[in-house]
Amino acid sequence: MNFNAFSSMRAFRIWDYRVSHDQLLLRSAKIKGYNENIDIIFYGVNYIQLSPELSGLTIQKMVPPFAAPYESVVQNLEFEGNNLFEIVSGRDVYLVAAAYVRVFENNLEFDESSLGQTEQGKGLEIGSIS
């Protein structure tokens, strides 16, 4: 099972969630030593099992066959566009079911979310996992 992944040593937090297109934002906020936020946006989210704070993370799309946690997740994964992403932080392993993930760098302020922004407003896209 080969797949690509995104990894960062920075600390992330669950920052925002929007019902529209079921978007979940994890942010590593710009702080001393880092001039930009890293915003990880999951689209089409239908399952979240995640700590609100993550000290470093690696995200990778799981490739079937794999064990899914709940029947509802299994049912959602029957639709071709839905995927299961594994998030490893330290020794902990979390799961998010979503369609795809996009990662941006931006200079948004603490109270500004990249969800709901125009494409340009989200910042510089540095990658995606699908």
Partner 1 sequence: MFVAAGTGAVIGSGVGAGIYLSGILAKPTLTSLGIAGAEYVATHPGEVNHAINSAGRLVANNSDKVERIAFGVREHLDKFTARVEATNYKQWGPGDFQSQFLEKIASPSTRIHFNLDGITNVMKAVQQGSRGYQNAGSVTNWELYQIYSQPEVLQRTTFYLNGIVVASPF
Q: Which residues bind partner 1 (CB under 8 A)?
A: 1-8, 10, 19-22, 34, 36, 38, 43-44, 58, 60, 62-71, 74, 76-82, 86, 93, 95, 99-103, 105, 116-119, 124, 126-130
Nearer to partner 1, 66 or 90 (CB): 66
Residue pair 107/36 in contact by the 8 Å Cβ criterion: yes
Least distance (Å) from partner 1 to the CB of residue 112? Answer: 13
Least distance (Å) from partner 1 to the CB of residue 52? Answer: 20
Determine the Cα–Cα distance for residues 24 and 40; give it in Å rounded to an integer: 8
Least distance (Å) from partner 1 to the CB of residue 5? Answer: 4
Residue pair 63/11 in contact by the 8 Å Cβ criterion: no
CB atoms inside a 10 Å sphere around CB 79: 11
Residue pair 121/105 in contact by the 8 Å Cβ criterion: no
Nearer to partner 1, 4 or 53 (CB): 4
